[in-house]
Structure 1
Amino acid sequence: MAFQELDPHGEEYELHWLATALVSLFVILGLLVMRIPLLMGMDMKLGYDIMQHAGEDDSDMKDLKEGVRNVWTQISTVSALIFPATIAMIQEGGEVKPFYYESSEGTDDDGSGQRVVIHLQQAYLASMCFTMMCTAYGCSLCLLNFTYVECLSPRQSLAFFLTHPGTVGYPLMLLCNAFTFFWLAALIWMLGTYGTALGSLGLSGILLYWWFVYWAFRTNSEFNPSRCPKEPPRILLSNRCLLDSTKIDGIHKSLYAKLHPETKTALDSLDGANLAQPSQSADQTPAAAKHKESKAQSSQRVAPCDD
């Protein structure tokens, strides 16, 4: 362990609880702040975004139940994968061996460097504990939802989702929080081991992670099947690079025709009309038409009678 060579009654242990208390206070405040999105209905919005197209005429309520069950399966699986990794990281004890302290070993007479290491280790373990809490809660919540919904009919499942719309979106929010605390622990380890440079990089990674999650949340919530674009999104790469824009256009149009059969019928009718229209052949040129007209006039003349 990291503290075997240290005196447990030494000065460096006087404030060993400080980092844990501060991180715990930070996480508790974070959990309270997390209630604000819940009060604003972000979990309900996510649930209704998933269920909003279930009321359409061509949709089946059985598909809604299966879709939500698949969402719970994926969330519980990912949470179950993170949980043992968290346990393993806690069992390692969060041992921090800063490289930038080794070069000055023997000169740290007041023990300030060791106190910094202890605080970082305590913060690391506290972050991992809250990661374990979020993963365990998210996985258990998905299993509880499975238990209640599994034996319900599709119509009863829809009634359950309308009564508790947050059960669809809240487990996903817990998984995002688990990733955040997991990343925070990795950030603390990088800060204590490799210094401020990589610690700052880890902090920027957390901020970018939440920005991308927010961007994906806003983008997917604006999806509407009735407003599917007829043309594929424009790309910066030319058709001579990795992507062939002509091929992509053809694939997109064929899939759009399957989504909107009336569009395919109209296109087929237009193509049929174009094929039915005879092409201008050689005997339909202006010269041929004039010759044909003069021949018709000569045939209408009456031949003179013989005396």
Structure 2
Amino acid sequence: MHPENYSTFDEFVLLGIPVPNHLVIIFFYLLLLTFALSLLGNLTITVLVLVDSRLHRPMYFFLLNLSILEIAFTLSITPVTLSNLLSKTKTISFYGCITQCFLYFFLGVAEFVLLAVMSFDRYVAICDPLRYASIMSFRLCSWLVVFCCTHHIEFLDFIIAIIVLLGSLVLTTVSYISIITAVLRIPSATGKKKAFSTCGAHITVDSIYYGSAIFMYLRQSKGSSLDLKKVVSILTVVITPVLNPFIYTLRNEKVKEALRDLIKRRLHSNVHMKINK
């Protein structure tokens, strides 16, 4: 072929989110607000788990890693989306697009595997509490987290992604079915309530993650459904990371207690500094 028959490109044009022109600014500020809340909420959980010794347990160790993944996931997508909302030339460079796609699927798959690991942690805590400390050792927890971020680098094919999604969903579902069965056998109503409250936040977060992901991957991309998938993808990238820290903090007494203590320490420190001045 002659050289003039070749063409090169170094950027993609983004079709963007189906938002009417007169609502773009409103949508921008709503997206910016949820972005800020997501970072603030997940950073708060990260700091709490790191500084409070009462939260140095497997469940909170996994929650810490989930929050870190959420922060990275949000930072990989939302800033570019915010920029393009106000830009007249809605483009992304070729290498920027490849990097963003890699981070989106890398971090997304890691979150699904981590959710399955967290369901296993709750299964051991409720169904085999006497051996929980020996089974969920720090070494095992560390290896489980590493497993979430190394083995899926090769998952570039759609079929493999579906296997990961449905496989982790099956593991999560089986774990919670076993948990519910074990809880129903508890004779005390107080014991049942406490056990269910422990898992309530996990089940809520899992439902949001898997529900939106299954919708996007299994629904055909034809006609108006493509715009609907764009909306669902925005909900997954922006709304879910915001809900995650609030669901866990509002339903978990230990996290709320740690947050109150951290705020008290900061206020006391500020008052002490002013007195010294």
Do both share a fold (TM > 0.5)? no
Q: Which has the higher helix share?
A: 2
Q: So what's the TM-score if we normalise by structure 1?
A: 0.27
**Structure with larger Rg:** 1
